[in-house]
Amino acid sequence: MRKIVASAVLVFCSALASYGQVAEILFPKKSFGGYGQFDIAPPHNEWDLNRCSPAAGTIDGRNTACAAFARSALGGYLEFKPLNWSVFKRVYVFGSPRFFFGDNVPQTRYTASFDAIGVMNTYGLIVDLPRQFQVRVTQQAKMAWLGKYGGNLGRADLGGDGPYGQNMSVGVRYSFGSFAHQRHE
């Protein structure tokens, strides 16, 4: 079976190469796009990552190990268009990791610490439709806890899966104004 698939791929690529279109079909120009972002939350507005009880300071005291309330976040978004051929011209793959940092306990301890707490990954598939519509299939993975947050954090530990847990959704997006034509320039 492997030999049949390998032969089919080889025949397909050689047929495309004979027309000089391999570079245009596989990994076309402008096939990557995205952005990076850094956020800082002021005191009393930290991200609650659903790992520790909001009353962690009263449960385990001021120096509790359960301090997974993030002060800063570093993330981004990457879109990738692997094929520029037939109906696949409108298909994109995307990923959006977000790292959370901090060491804060609500109403008890606020620091500017940059201790790694965890990473939350979102990824999926986009299909562009006519008239600036898109269908988006999105998977939200469980929070991956980093460093000291990988184990049990005491009585205030909720053992959460992150702020949104694990989920999957299918959505429709409509773009208008200057956002409507960004991909097609």
Q: pLDDT per residue over 160-179, tens digit each?
A: 777 777 888 999 989 887 66
What is the mean pLDDT, run by run of 10 residues, along the chain of 185 residues? 60 55 62 90 85 81 83 92 76 92 85 89 91 91 87 82 80 80 54
Question: In the structure encoding, which two tokens stand for residue 157, read together?
Answer: 């530990």
Q: What is the pLDDT of residue 185?
A: 46
Q: What is the pLDDT of residue 162?
A: 72
Contact 78/94 with Cβ under 8 angstroms? yes
**DSSP helix, strand, coil percent of the chain (3-state; round to 5):** 20, 40, 40
Cα dist from 13 to 2, 9, 10, 181, whole Å:
16, 6, 5, 32
pLDDT tens digit sequence for 127-144: 988 888 999 999 988 888
Question: Which amino acid does the sequence have at 68?
Answer: A
Question: In the structure encoding, which two tokens stand for residue 23, read together?
Answer: 């570079």
Cα dist from 96 to 55, 99, 137, whole Å:
31, 10, 13
Cβ neighbors of 169 (< 8 A, separation 6 or more) are: 137, 138, 140
DSSP letter, residue 18: H
Nearest to 63 by CA among 147, 150, 148: 148
The answer to pTM > 0.85 is no
